[in-house]
Structure 1
Amino acid sequence: MHRCSVSYNEQYLETYQSHEGPVYRVKFSQRWPSVFLTCSADWSLNLYHLKYKTPMLTMRATGENFPINDISWCPDNSTVFANVTVDAKLQIWDLSVSSIDPVVIVDTTQDDLVDGGLNGDSTADSAEGDAGHPSPPGSPLLMTNRYDRMEHAKEEGPSGAPLQRIIKNLATGTKKKVLTSVLFGEKNPSVVVGDNRGTVTVYRIFDPVTITHLGPLQQYEKLKKAILQQTDPTSAANLQSADGSEEQKAY
């Protein structure tokens, strides 16, 4: 994995020791711009600091042996991030709790079984599941909205219409659900997930907390403390010796 610059197009600025498979995403923390996450086909997530070639943390959910397609940092809780996998799992991590396993794992294939009356125009705002998707007891997430491109294509034209034919062709052979993208809501406790069938699903998050209202410096310090607690002594020492200007960058 290489760090590049448009000012030096003939060489790399840095080469990082990376994954054992293809790297699918690189996402920098909004609260600590020198820290970034990567996800890979080798089933793992790595957390790096720009100054160091080796990852400070390598994370892989116990028993999960599937490629990770996308990752997303939570905008208002610096220690929380999410990833989605090829086997349709949504995983939410909180580094202030653990780097060994996610605090939430959701098998989204179960949504297809209980989706009943949910459609692109329905919304659930309560924990009881007003849109026909009852929330399991103690569940940290609730599916609140779903957009299905196949269903909307049927509404937009007859079965022989070009749009309908194109979407049908794209969906052919995709019986297995694969999650392809994930994104947190910026001003509400939600996470949005997209899959290979063209379906976008919105989940309301009850735990972990995603809206903290902490200031930039507090967010930076929260993330740094969590990483120091989770990483090995060598990486922790390297992190402690990082440039003192990091606090200024947090603003």
Structure 2
Amino acid sequence: MWRFAGLELSAARAAIDAAFEAGITLFDTADIYGFGEQGFGKAEELLGRVFADAPEYRDRMVLATKGGITPPTPYNSSAEYLTKAIDDSLQRLGTDRIDLWQIHRPDILTHPQEIARAVEAAHSAGKIRAFGVSNFTQAQISTLAQFSAVPIVSTQPELSPLRIDTIENGELDQAIAMDMAVLAWSPLGGGRIGDPSNEREQNVAGALSGVAASHGVSRTAAAYSWIMAHPARPIPIVGSQNPARIAEAADAFKITWTRADWYSVLVAARGVPLP
């Protein structure tokens, strides 16, 4: 929901309705979304207006949000700030609980024990039901997990057929080992899957298009499906606010990947043959 801020209420509801109709129930936002054009917290505020207009929407979704980015600082995960960030998100969203609360970016200057105590307090108070991280390294996740009585249930890395570091550097293997859900942000490579601009991007798009055509779906749906085929079962975050594009995401389930097809996309992304 990072582009959610600034929509009219009717357009906001239409986007959410399209997601529900496609079977999407996880909605991921953040307190920083809207910053720059609409303002800090504006995406959460708009979702809060949707809940006020249609209270039944709240119970139909798994509501995820994030905190910890503090322009221009840039990051703050002190216990004092995290406590305030969670309370502020609850107020903007107009809800009494957040299903999944995540630290948006790691704050190097905060000891993980301090983070853990703040999260535990919010969890005990019923303000958050589960805890995750976003853009954390494997070492940062492992270290924080040692101090936290509340398990880290999710990680949110950048992952797409054009951003395969997460696949090759062990991040997804760690997610499997720790039973963390993987929320893949920018699964379309910042739009480059749809509009490739160099040879590597064109090769990846071509490999995806071949599979997409054989299953009667779009290249976008093939990109989502390629991510979802990994054993870590990553969940692509669909960034579009266009109801038709949101509905298109469900086509990802129409593809059954052969190993040859899946690896052909990986090879195109690597730019060199596999060993």
TM category, shorter: under 0.3
**Whose helix proportion is higher, 1 or 2?**
2
TM-score by length of 1: 0.24
Higher Cα Rg: structure 1 or 2?
1
TM-score by length of 2: 0.23
